[in-house]
Amino acid sequence: MRSRKVLSAMMAGVGLAGLMLMAPVTGAAAQEGKVGGTLKLLANAAAGTIDPHINYTLQYFQINYILYDGLVTFRKTGDKTGFEVVADLAESLPKPEDGGKKYVFTLRKGIKFADGSDLTTADVVASFQRMFKISGPTTGTLYNGIVGADKCLKTPATCTLEGGVVADEAASTVTFNLVAPDPDFLQKISIPHAAILPAEAPLKDSGTVPIPGTGPYMIASYDPNSLLKMVRNPHFKEWSKEAQPAGYPDEIDYGFGLTDEAAVTAVENGQADWMFDPPPADRLAELGTKYAKQVSVHPLTAMWYAPMNTNLAPFNDIRVRQAVNYAIDRAAIVKLFGGSNLAQPSCQILPPNFPSYAPYCPFSANPGEKWSAPDLEKAKALIAASGTAGQEVTIITEDTEVSKSIGVYLQDVLNGLGYKTSVKPISQNIQFTYIQNTNNKVQISISQWFQDYPAPSDFLQVLFSCASFTPGSDASVNISGFCDKSIDQKMAEAQTGMIADPAKGAQLWTAVDKAVTDAAPVAVLFTPKRVDLISPRLKNFVFSPQFYWIMSQSWVE
């Protein structure tokens, strides 16, 4: 998933030992933590529609995890087990059948939506049909392996997923049939885009009108210009602490409109409890010293990178792409992000602490496991061999401070290699789609990728497979337009290997990571960390590697 816009913010939760007690009927967490009160959150701006099948932003993924449930979800804990999939609306995790092409889920009984209606198997089928009918943003990449998905993608309005999602109301089961085995299927349906909604949910983007969910909270009101108010779901009863624990606060208010600077001051002063946006760079030193107790820093499974268009000059020459990788001073770029305590230089696609990750950096003065320094001589030799010096290059960045700063630095690097480079900052709202569309002839850009689900395919297959490249489309996340049939074949083998022999499959993914890194369709810059600033009154800040802050598990004093 994509940086700030598309992250897989998820939550996890587990509270403390105190969460061992069952929640009362109200759905409140009745442990030693303080139940009640209002949690006050801040964000620079709202993140658009609150339709869980459409919104693809970290900002709302984070709240959708406490508003909605899927058949399965990631364990809501603050440790590495937060990457594990657990049963949510399903009674248990199904075992793959038919060689990994069939999954049968049995629904839990007695679960109600926030409007009081019962959850049924018909809701599950209707929800998956709805994803396609409203052309959900991940239907073509994450859910296209379901039988019948190809027809749904061609004609969304008449989508039935016939044979793909089959309900048995009497047995309270839903069966998923896949075109081919997919070892990541359960993870893919654990994100909010696979949330189960009432069958009556509108077959269009619900916009600012909330759709009832099954989570411990529901949206009471939403005004994108000022406030999103969440209150307790009166029909919620905790059925699985690891999947969807009850929450502590009675109300969660998400305010919009303050600048980052003002938000920092508000949280420092206790006028708000948390801010979504990263603290501005010139406040970091202050936060790290004066307010260090209110700051939480966590590594992310993500990357900042510079996609290079492999179909446009000069980056259609692998020597040029490798030269850029050799020339970049990643330590300098890390400074632009806030320093080595907030980011780590990286050369490879998979981030540290991620499945199949093995340290690898060929583009360094001392090639090996870690990046050490740029190798400008080698970079210039590659450019000279390519004969492309003197060409014009345009870097497309977001209009945010960090993105622009990195763009200006990269401009310096490319000018040093002999190109005539310009930088064009574009509004953050449109830059991501702009750089994906081949019609815009973007040569090189600055972007970010945050995991949707913890599997190598989310980085390697989603970003670099031939199938992810759709010329002329705003939704072509293979921004580089990279398509190497042999690497595609290796990816397919790795996916198959994950089913037959997970250890071998993981090794194959490691090899794919190296192969893609060597081909250099992108210049990976660094692995970022997240800085969370919380108020003094906020307690029990639980950070999941998958969901980030699990807001329902914190309380206010």
Partner 1 sequence: MSDQAQSDPRRSDAQSSAAVAFPADLKFIPIMDNTSGGQALVRSRRGAEGPWRTAWRKLKADRAAIMAFGVLVLITAACLAAPLYARHVARTDPFATNLNGEIVINGETRQVLEPSTEGLGLGFTPLGPTWDFGPYMLGADNQGRDVAARLLYGGRNSLLIAGAAAAICLGLATLLGVVSGFFGGLVDTLLSRILDVLWAFPIFLLAISLSIVLITQSITIGPIEIRSGSLWLPIFIIGIVYVPYVARPIRGHVLSLMQAEFVTAAIGIGASPWRILLYDILPNVITRVIVFVPLILALNMMTESSLSFLSIGVQPPDASWGTIIQDGQGLLYSRPIVALAPGMAIVICVLALNILGDGVRDALDPKSSIRVA
Tell which one of 17, 292, 472, 486 touches partner 1 (CB under 8 A): 292
Run of H or E residues at 267: helix 260-268
Output 282 or 557, the one with its CB closest to partner 1: 282
Count of residues that bind partner 1 according to CB under 8 A: 40
Give yes or no for residue 287 binding partner 1 (CB under 8 A): yes
Give yes or no for residue 284 binding partner 1 (CB under 8 A): yes
Q: How far is the CB of 288 from partner 1 (least distance, A)?
A: 4
Tell which one of 79, 168, 286, 377 touches partner 1 (CB under 8 A): 286
Tell which one of 220, 231, 295, 389 touches partner 1 (CB under 8 A): 295
Q: In whole angstroms, what is the distance from residue 82 CA to residue 92 CA?
A: 17
Tell which one of 226, 341, 429, 489 touches partner 1 (CB under 8 A): 341
- Residues 381-420: x where in contact with partner 1 by CB under 8 A, - otherwise, as a string: -------------x----x-x--xx-xxx-xx--------
Considering only residues 526-555, where is the footprint of partner 1 by CB under 8 A?
531
- Residues 454-473: x where in contact with partner 1 by CB under 8 A, - otherwise, as a string: --------------------
Tell which one of 79, 223, 261, 557 touches partner 1 (CB under 8 A): 261
Output 149 or 413, the one with its CB closest to partner 1: 413
Give yes or no for residue 338 binding partner 1 (CB under 8 A): yes
Beta bridge partners of 538: 556
For 118-138, give one letter per residue: b (16+ CB within 10 A) or e: ebbbebbbbbbbbbbbbbbbb
DSSP 3: T
Output 200 or 282, the one with its CB closest to partner 1: 282
- Residues 346-375: x where in contact with partner 1 by CB under 8 A, - otherwise, as a string: ------------------------------
Q: How far is the CB of 340 from partner 1 (least distance, A)?
A: 8
DSSP 452-481: SSSSHHHHHHHHHSGGG--TT-S----TT-
Q: In whole angstroms, what is the distance from residue 148 CA to residue 129 CA?
A: 10
Q: How far is the CB of 535 from partner 1 (least distance, A)?
A: 17
Q: How far is the CB of 398 from partner 1 (least distance, A)?
A: 10
Tell which one of 275, 308, 342, 349 touches partner 1 (CB under 8 A): 342
Give yes or no for residue 262 binding partner 1 (CB under 8 A): no
Give yes or no for residue 288 binding partner 1 (CB under 8 A): yes
Q: Please tell me the total number of residues recorded for the chain in this structure.
A: 557
For 487-507, give one letter per residue: b (16+ CB within 10 A) or e: bbebbebbbbbbeeeeeebbe
User: Residue 410 burial (CB < 10 Å; 0-12/13-18/19+)?
Assistant: buried
Output 250 or 329, the one with its CB closest to partner 1: 329
Q: How far is the CB of 397 from partner 1 (least distance, A)?
A: 9
Stretch that binds partner 1, among 94-102, 245-253, 287-295, 446-454 (CB under 8 A): 287-295
Beta bridge partners of 345: 526
Output 19 or 396, the one with its CB closest to partner 1: 396
DSSP 135-174: T-TTTTTTSTTBTTHHHHHH-GGG---TTTEEEETTTTEE
Q: What is the sign of the dihedral through the CA atoms of 337, 342, 344 and 347?
A: negative
Q: How far is the CB of 411 from partner 1 (least distance, A)?
A: 6
Tell which one of 332, 376, 389, 511 touches partner 1 (CB under 8 A): 332
Stretch that binds partner 1, among 9-17, 133-141, 282-290, 496-504 (CB under 8 A): 282-290
Considering only residues 195-234, where is the footprint of partner 1 by CB under 8 A?
none
Which residue matches tokens 């990286």? 346
Q: Which two tokens stand for residue 93?
A: 């995790």
Q: How far is the CB of 63 from partner 1 (least distance, A)?
A: 27
**Residue 78 C-alpha from the chain's centroid:** 17
Q: Which of 169, 142, 61 is nearest to 475 (CA)?
A: 142
Run of H or E residues at 413: helix 401-416
Q: 3-state secondary structure string, 340-394?
A: CCCEEECCCCCCCCCCCCCCCECCCCCCECCCCCCCHHHHHHHHHHHCCCCCEEE
Tell which one of 289, 485, 486, 503 touches partner 1 (CB under 8 A): 289
Give yes or no for residue 424 binding partner 1 (CB under 8 A): yes
Give yes or no for residue 282 binding partner 1 (CB under 8 A): yes
Which residue matches tokens 């089961």? 173
CB-CB contact of 503 with 461 (8 Å): no
Q: In whole angstroms, what is the distance from residue 357 CA to residue 348 CA?
A: 9
Give yes or no for residue 304 binding partner 1 (CB under 8 A): no
Give yes or no for residue 336 binding partner 1 (CB under 8 A): yes
Q: Which of 443, 212, 408 is nearest to 314 (CA)?
A: 443
Q: How far is the CB of 442 from partner 1 (least distance, A)?
A: 10
Stretch that binds partner 1, among 47-55, 151-159, 250-258, 327-335 (CB under 8 A): 327-335
User: Footprint of partner 1 on this chain (CB under 8 A)?
Assistant: 261, 280-290, 292, 295, 297, 329, 331-332, 335-336, 338-339, 341-342, 394, 399, 401, 404-405, 407-409, 411-412, 422-426, 531
